[in-house]
Structure 1
């Protein structure tokens, strides 16, 4: 199996990143994505440290990413009257390189060189001695040598190959939402406001808004955007500052997404010819490492398949060996209580971390350590 045929589920970041490398190595790759097209917009994501930059460079996309970076912007924490309480420096929020998620997905897609099946999803996986028979909701059944689940924390591939989501995903007490309001209410600034258990941040490209709130786990259809908008408005009812104004814009917001802060805990990343990548395997909890983990994981998985001559058993074992410790950062706490502290005292203490050069320095050093805590193999370029 020198150049395997590979099906990747998910066209966000991890999937196209893997496709960029596998097609360069001579593999035939297909990406299936439930959405009708690449999702534009989304929040800013970032890369930190030499490890992330090295991977982007070896993938051949560093210059493209740098050309479209947004640049980390200082964010002002305000009280209900709009008065500044503290400032979160751009180097903390934006890492070394910050870029819109949709822009990154577009760059990766342009370099992926593979087939896309948009508006479709996998309905069954049946492993045989020489491949995986796959059925789709719309496309004709096909056989692939390998299948990769790069379809997020609610992975369909993980459910089909490993078991129900409830066995691997644990809710952490918070939900988050992203919305493009179509109007900049912060006059070009990046502003964040807190009440106990609630956070709202506005500003940045395309008048984006970001919300994090504590809540019992919400039950909703993830395809029902209107219901999700209502859940967000209910969660912020009665809020101060400019929350009523923001909530009034939610029904007409362009891009909108709501999800839980949850953690994936799984004892192995692969089963037979199926392997998990990115949030499907080591789901991040808004700690700022999800994109870096996805791209580094793609680099390692593709490189190990190359080094093993397509032998998935050897490659998958080595991929897990290298990534398991590196991905431990995704198992450390949750950003929920940090972004939306549960009490006014906790809000005050959190704000003080950005007023103290010492504490801020410790946090920046910690993020640098987590981002670079892997020895990257120097894989050959492939054929």
Structure 2
């Protein structure tokens, strides 16, 4: 049986683990976090990714967990409503669409439930080295003993450890898109009822949506900036930066800054894309954001992760297929789909891509080779 180490227990890694196990391979997932990561923004399952979720038997559960937005307000910098919509929101698109918006943590939990009994998970650990031989890849871990696997998959996000170890430093592949985004939760101090609020003040702005039956807010705060000179894992430094910028806003500055300072699920990172000339090297392959991050500006990161996991598992599961041929076919099938979806992030700087572009990109691949 082919053994596969998957670095990253998020959407891409969890989906791949389930799909590989279903095809008779033996995946192991290593995740830096000591448990499933909580928090994060609402994510979208769109177009052909809905079919992936349906084939996994999770479509109805995902629909039950979807957000129930009634619309959104757009405010000026002083908090006055200047526009509203009951037809669409910036986060999910048209409200009458078949696409599904749900919290990232809910989708990860759904995917993990499909694998937790059948797939080995190494929580609270991470890779430190990969050494390839004719027989496999020796993986060295920060805490656990070294082990050898037939294949290794980097599904570990924008700052992928697998990509750094096997392909080179991130600077070779990352394209900064001119801004940062911070996501965190708070009590619903605005009293929002299935209604989003969006505001821009100078070079910063935010979108706020209520979740968990309107008991909680998810706040996505963005600000324009070139690449920052600091450690992306230094949460204290990033929290201080975001709190300071939120405190400079004209509307709800104090409460937003307090929420960022106290949030247990605080997150902040660059808006960036990953462009790698080739997604595999020897027995190592990249999946999702690790190989082709489109950035949250595209709205398609989740769909790319799900579809990529399906295509990669499909190719690796073919009887008699060697990993080199499987990796090549995976990339051949996914490249055009990735290119269209990454382009969504830059089509309309400062705003969403057109509905026509999103519709074309989200359906630009078939699941059956």
TM-score (norm 2): 0.91
Residue pair 1:72, 1:93 contacting (<8 A) in 2 also: no
CA distance in 2, matches of 1:187, 1:336: 31
Aligned residue for 1:116, secondary structure, equals strand
Of 97, 100, 106, the match for 1:103: 106
Residue pair 2:14, 2:112 contacting (<8 A) in 1 also: yes
State the 1:306 CA deviation. Answer: 1.1
Aligned residue for 1:334, secondary structure, equals helix
2:172 corresponds to 1:167: yes
Tell me what 2:96 maps to.
Answer: none
CA distance in 1, matches of 2:180, 2:90: 22
State the 1:333 CA deviation. Answer: 6.2
Higher helix share: 1
Residue pair 2:65, 2:106 contacting (<8 A) in 1 also: yes
C-alpha deviations, 1:298-326, integer Å up to 9, x for none?
Answer: 00000011125351011000000000010
Tell me what 1:381 maps to.
Answer: none
CA distance in 2, matches of 1:24, 1:79: 50
Tell me what 1:42 maps to.
Answer: 40
Of 324, 333, 350, the match for 1:313: 324
C-alpha deviations, 1:313-351, integer Å up to 9, x for none?
Answer: 11000000000010013432636974xx4xxxxxxxx6x
- Which 5+ residue runs of structure 2 have no aligned equivalent? 94-98
TM-score (norm 1): 0.88
Does 364-373 or 292-301 show the bigger shift?
A: 364-373
Residue pair 2:127, 2:139 contacting (<8 A) in 1 also: yes
Tell me what 2:263 maps to.
Answer: 253
Residue pair 1:69, 1:98 contacting (<8 A) in 2 also: yes
Aligned length: 355
Tell me what 2:208 maps to.
Answer: 202
CA distance in 2, matches of 1:309, 1:72: 48
CA distance in 2, matches of 1:87, 1:336: 23
CA distance in 2, matches of 1:42, 1:202: 13
Residue pair 2:7, 2:29 contacting (<8 A) in 1 also: yes
CA distance in 1, matches of 2:43, 2:60: 16
CA distance in 2, matches of 1:137, 1:5: 20
CA distance in 1, matches of 2:316, 2:78: 56
State the 1:197 CA deviation. Answer: 1.7
Tell me what 1:371 maps to.
Answer: 362
CA distance in 1, matches of 2:329, 2:70: 38
Residue pair 2:77, 2:250 contacting (<8 A) in 1 also: yes
C-alpha deviations, 1:247-290, integer Å up to 9, x for none?
Answer: 13221112110000111111001000000000011111211000
Mapping of residues 64-143 of structure 1, within 5 Å = 64-87=61-84, 89-90=87-88, 93-94=91-92, 96-112=99-115, 113-143=118-148
Tell me what 1:297 maps to.
Answer: 308
| Structure 1 residues 82 and 186, CA gap change in structure 2 (3 angstroms) | farther
Tell me what 1:190 maps to.
Answer: 196
Does 138-147 or 69-78 show the bigger shift?
A: 69-78
2:148 corresponds to 1:156: no
> RMSD in angstroms over aligned alpha carbons?
2.0
- Which 5+ residue runs of structure 1 have no aligned equivalent? 342-349, 354-361, 379-383
CA distance in 2, matches of 1:330, 1:155: 20
C-alpha deviations, 1:168-214, integer Å up to 9, x for none?
Answer: 11212100000112343243331011022211122321211111110
C-alpha deviations, 1:39-62, integer Å up to 9, x for none?
Answer: 12321101122x122111112221
CA distance in 1, matches of 2:90, 2:208: 17
